[in-house]
Structure 1
Amino acid sequence: MKTYQNALNLIGRILIVALFLPAGLSKLAGFEGTLAYFASLGIPAPVFSLVATIVIEVVGSIALLVGFHTRVVALIMALFTLIAAVTGHAFWAAPADAVFIAQLLFFKNIAVMGGLLILASAGAGGFSIDGRKVAK
């Protein structure tokens, strides 16, 4: 049973990383364009916010993937995802023709937060750096 849980935990971490890692890498590759987008949203200190976003998405993804400090990283990423949902997908303030997509993305973020909070609660499982530390 434990191997089954560890395998599902690993698959879940991989699937969460499949959302965040490409997003962070695309922000890094398109830094100037993303910076302009952040500024257009009225995000304070857009350069700092963008760098922090890239670090959270890329470094956080790698940490989740290998299961390193998973509980803390998952909590940080859950909080980040909440902030991203409110600032980037504010469907309540979107023009009428953009409400549906913004609402869909907002609630996608809320669902991802749920997965991250479960991961923060459960930890990374046995197939992880964290799991190897516990086994010793």
Structure 2
Amino acid sequence: MSNTQNAVILVARILLSFMFIYAGFGKLTDPAGTAGMIAGAGMPAATLLAYLAGAFEFVTGIAVLVGFQTKIVGWALALFCAFTGAVFHSGTVAVPGWPDAALGWINALNGIMLMKNFTLAGAYILLATFGPGAYSLDARRRVSVAIAA
């Protein structure tokens, strides 16, 4: 793989990591909004699940950023994106007392979030399949193992 291709993969990893590092940190420091969404979906232990989601997002985001265990993390994030898209962003949103115009906007945004989640799942499948590139901890570990052998 060329240096240019490896640099593009690095940029892609940086961009793919930012959302999960940011969102995970937010859930860990203030889980209330996420806990409300989880409870609204009928799931138990909403606050605990919000913290677990935050930890998962933050740790996997860092792993993508540095290129650590990228294939495993890529598949895990692809499944996470598909699951959360299907559970939290499919269907219509009904907020009691909100005007119809606001609900229309919220439902349009929810549809965009569903598409975003499925699109990200595709990006993480690519990352899991083709790997993190040369500028990653995974690549450095392969070199270290090869030198030791």
Q: Does the TM-score normalized on the shorter chain lie above 0.5? A: yes
The answer for the alignment partner of 2:53 in structure 1 is 53
Which one has a bigger Cα radius of gyration? 2
Distance apart, 1:56 and its partner CA: 1.5
**Contact residue 24 and residue 53 of structure 1 kept, 8 A:** yes
**Contact residue 56 and residue 77 of structure 1 kept, 8 A:** no
Distance apart, 1:59 and its partner CA: 0.4
**Contact residue 31 and residue 47 of structure 2 kept, 8 A:** no
Distance in 2, matches of 1:53 and 1:121, equals 24
1:37 is matched by which residue type in structure 2? M
Distance in 1, matches of 2:36 and 2:109, equals 21
Specify which structure has the higher proportion of helix: 1
The answer for the alignment partner of 2:36 in structure 1 is 36
2:93 is matched by which residue type in structure 1? A
Distance apart, 1:25 and its partner CA: 0.8
Q: What is the Cα-based RMSD across aligned positions, in Å?
A: 1.6
**Contact residue 9 and residue 132 of structure 2 kept, 8 A:** yes
Distance in 1, matches of 2:34 and 2:70, equals 28
Structure 2 residue 84 is matched with structure 1 residue 76: no
Structure 2 residue 93 is matched with structure 1 residue 94: yes
Gaps of at least 5 residues in structure 1 are none
**Contact residue 78 and residue 121 of structure 2 kept, 8 A:** yes
The answer for the alignment partner of 1:129 in structure 2 is 137
Distance in 1, matches of 2:18 and 2:108, equals 24
Q: TM-score, normalised by structure 2?
A: 0.82
Structure 2 residue 5 is matched with structure 1 residue 5: yes
Q: TM-score, normalised by structure 1?
A: 0.90
Runs of 4+ deviating beyond 6 Å: none
The range that moved more, 64-73 or 27-36, is 27-36
